[in-house]
Amino acid sequence: MRKIVIAGNWKMYKTNSEALQLANQIKINTTAIKKAGIIICPPFTALATVNEVIKDSPIGLGAQDVYWEKEGAFTSCISPGMVRSTGATYVIIGHSERRQYFGETDETVNKKVNAALDNGLKPIVCVGETLDQREENITDKVVTKQIKGGLAGLTEEQMKSVIIAYEPVWAIGTGKTATPDQAQDVHAMIRQLLAELFGNLTAENTVIQYGGSVKPDNANDLLSQKDIDGALVGGACLKVDSFSDIIHTAEKLL
Ligand code: 13P
């Protein structure tokens, strides 16, 4: 059975001292969690600080982006090795906010995914359609292209380290959640696509998270769906109560 993995994407929130406090609270509130996976993704600036708090706990640490080069004159960029050096072992790649505001494409996602894997980082690869695309009925086509492009050339072995996050853009930060059925339909489509691309075993074992206004009151219905294996949480991960509520909901379903 696949694990349920709850990841918190802190986005551009939390100074170092705020991050320290939140990480501490999350650690304390999740000591009873034995089965659900937990990952927190603070901004780059807080990674090393947060690592000090959670390094002896089962909570995983992730960055929110990475550049593909090892080093060089790439002002502001952070390499996979730099991310690793903070203690982080995960990295979110291709978030819709990166695609929308910073020119991320399936090609750059693919380069980043490869660079992450080559350096022992586990990518959380984000895909999802905009509202226009959903209304045009091209959700499957858009997500298929993102997955094929983002994961191009990966081996079955590499896929063991990849998490996919389906995040419909229209549900991010809007309070509008995909219904459990809407989300399940896309997750099932993604799993079928993974079977075609990488074989049945990879499809069965890959964790596919849902993201987009996941909150304590909708987490149970979403996480109960057959092909929804976790959540990538934005707003609700910034407060210890709502984030740990979602994690405890996941734990009960396992
Ligand atoms: P919200 O939970 O705030 O909608 O954000 C989702 C998200 O973008 C997680 O990566």
Mutate to test the pocket of ligand 1, among 172, 238, 246 (most ligand atoms within 8 A of CB): 172
Asked if residue 18 has pLDDT above 90, the reply is: yes
Domain tally for the chain?
1
64 in ligand 1 pocket by Cβ < 6 Å?
no
Ligand 1: centre distance to CA 91 (Å): 15
Give yes or no for a contact between 7 and 209, defined as CB atoms under 8 angstroms apart: yes
Question: From CA 21, how far away is CA 31, in angstroms rounded?
Answer: 16
Supply the range of the domain harboring residue 248. Answer: 5-252
Q: Among 93-107, 169-183, 236-250, which stretch is predicted with the lowest mean pLDDT?
A: 169-183
Q: Tokens 């459990």 label which residue?
A: 180
Catalytic (active-site) positions: 95, 167
* pLDDT tens track for 138-182: 999 999 999 999 999 999 999 999 999 999 999 998 888 889 999
H/E run at residue 141 = helix 139-150
23: nearest Cα among 76, 88, 67: 88
172 in ligand 1 pocket by Cβ < 6 Å?
yes
Question: From CA 158, how far away is CA 11, in angstroms rounded?
Answer: 26
Torsion of CA 173, 91, 141, 155, to 10 degrees: -160
116: nearest Cα among 76, 158, 68: 68
Q: How high does pLDDT run on average in the chain?
A: 97
Ligand 1: centre distance to CA 71 (Å): 30
> How many alpha carbons fall within 13 Å on the CB side of residue 203?
14
Mutate to test the pocket of ligand 1, among 214, 222, 242, 245 (most ligand atoms within 8 A of CB): 214
Q: Tokens 């909150």 label which residue?
A: 215
* pLDDT tens track for 40-53: 999 999 999 999 99
Q: Which two tokens stand for residue 146?
A: 């993102």
Closest residue to atom 5 of ligand 1, CA basis? 234
Alpha helices in 172-232 (DSSP H): 180-198, 200-205, 216-223
* pLDDT tens track for 185-198: 999 999 999 999 99
Strand ranges in the chain using DSSP code E only, listed in sequence order:
5-9, 37-41, 60-63, 90-93, 122-127, 163-166, 208-211, 230-233
What's the whole-number mean pLDDT along residues 116-134? 97
Ligand 1: centre distance to CA 75 (Å): 27
The per-residue pLDDT for 173 is 87
Q: What's the length of the chain?
A: 254
Q: Which two tokens stand for residue 132?
A: 């226009």
211 in ligand 1 pocket by Cβ < 6 Å?
yes
Asked if residue 112 has pLDDT above 80, the reply is: yes
Q: What is the CATH number of the domain that holds 236?
A: 3.20.20.70
